Amino acid sequence: MKIAYFEMIGGASGNMLLGALIDAGASPSAIESALRTLPLEGWSIERRRVERRGIAATFFDFVVPGDHNSASHYLSDVLNVLERSGLTQAQRARAASIYTRLAEAEAKVHGSTPERIHFHEVGAADAILDVAGFCVALDLLGIERSYCSAYPLGRGTISIHHGRYPNPPPATAELLRGAPTYDAAIEAEMVTTTGAAILSTVVAEPGLRPAMRAESIGYGAGSSDFAIPNVLRVSVGTPAGERLPVEADDVVVLEATIDDMSPQHFELAFERVLAAGAFDVWLLPVTMKKLRPAVLFGAVAPPEREAEVARAMLVETSTLGVRVRSERRHTLGRRIETVETPLGPVRVKTATVDGQPRRTLEYDDVARIARELGRPIAETAARLEEHLRS
């Protein structure tokens, strides 16, 4: 699996991100061939090697005639441009996700809806080409997961379509909400709205530098000259072993056999045993003396919660006794992150072994979305899993 780490030394913009990926090995001719299938005309490419404060980098930009570049679009217009292109389904879906996230941020700022938002700078042809080109470049390099540094923010005000606004402008600030940022002490726009939309869509955990073996490193240049190198660096490579280690700890296993309790009462018993501190609970069918059918009520818990869990089992079930034994377990370290999807936010549990992530959707979130949509849970889970793979 290939991963990428985007380091915003001088900030981030659409063309800096694309320039960095090209500098890291993505074929500019392959990117151009894919973008020529978009129903956008009159554009050309400017690409050259430049130096920013002693660092050699690739400057990559789209040149679009003024009349076309100043046009604005609605979300439906941009999605139509992407849908009519020859990009792969995964590339179109990722680009659509970026623009949908952007529309949602603009809608929140303007008190509107994503469908009614009128794109200006970010709806121009060069912005669409930046977003689509980035998605193509990710595929060309085989990048499956992206990470990025904290976002550097500039000072002062900047000029946008609506006039002069504080830096960063409202839509960019909304896109970066919840992400780590820092003051770059530079009077300029460091992270553009397009750059924020791209990274906030493809990066689940901003500010996290992954353990990785870099195979290629690229630098994308911005157009301004700062006191620091105005470049964005991308490192592309493979995960370095297990990001989340295997852990070992002691647990207690508590069990009781029950043959005289209404099945309807187990749901609340499960809930309260878990609330008492159990990691997990279960029921197994067993046969007791005189061939009476029964169930084995089991729970696993940390040793320090043994008494509370045992008491909950005794109070909430009809059993007269609970057996306890000590065991040792090995577990994968894991993290839980909330991922924005077209169906709404969903928590995803990720564990990693030998650099390979195992991702599991949180059942409660999948069930909630299925109820809200009135759709089967299997269909809902399949759509969410497809989004995670895109």
Question: pLDDT digits over 140-156, tens only?
Answer: 999 999 999 999 999 98
Query: Is the Cα torsion angle 58, 61, 63, 66 positive or negative in sign?
Result: negative
H/E stretch holding 170: helix 170-175
Residues 348 and 388: beta-carbon distance below 8 Å: yes
Which residues face 73 on adjacent strands? 119
pLDDT band at 67 (very low <50, low <70, confident <90, very high): very low
CATH code of domain 246-332: 3.30.70.1380
Between CA 170 and CA 119 the distance in angstroms is: 14
pLDDT computed for residue 310 by the predictor: 96
Residues 303 and 326: beta-carbon distance below 8 Å: yes
pLDDT band at 201 (very low <50, low <70, confident <90, very high): very high
Residues 65 and 304: beta-carbon distance below 8 Å: no
Helix (H, G, I), strand (E, B) or coil at 100: helix
Give the angle 178-141-96 at the CA atoms, nearest 5°: 50
Question: pLDDT digits over 339-370, tens only?
Answer: 888 898 888 888 776 656 778 898 888 999 99
Q: Give, in order, the Cα–Cα distances in Å from 37 to each of 31, 40, 72, 136.
A: 11, 8, 20, 12
Question: pLDDT digits over 6-58, tens only?
Answer: 999 999 999 999 999 999 999 999 999 999 999 998 899 999 999 999 999 99
Share of the chain above pLDDT 70, in %: 93
Question: pLDDT digits over 291-343, tens only?
Answer: 899 999 999 999 999 999 999 999 999 999 999 999 999 887 777 778 888 89
Phi-psi sector, 120: left (phi>0), alpha (psi -120 to 50), beta: alpha
Evaluate if residue 2 carries a pLDDT over 80: yes
For the chain, domain boundaries: 2-239, 246-332, 334-389
* Mean of the per-residue pLDDT values of the chain: 89
Evaluate if residue 132 carries a pLDDT over 70: yes
Task: Return the closest-CA partner of residue 101 out of 337, 374, 336, 345.
Answer: 345
Evaluate if residue 214 carries a pLDDT over 70: yes
Q: In what order do the strands lie in the sheet with 143-148?
A: 44-52, 55-63, 212-221, 231-239, 2-7, 143-148
pLDDT band at 108 (very low <50, low <70, confident <90, very high): confident
Q: 140 CB contacts (<8 Å, ≥6 apart)? A: 21, 26, 27, 30, 31
Task: Return the closest-CA partner of residue 169 out of 154, 158, 178.
Answer: 158
Residue 230 main-chain phi, psi, to 5 deg? -85, 70
Q: Report the DSSP pairing between strands 181-183 and 151-153.
A: parallel
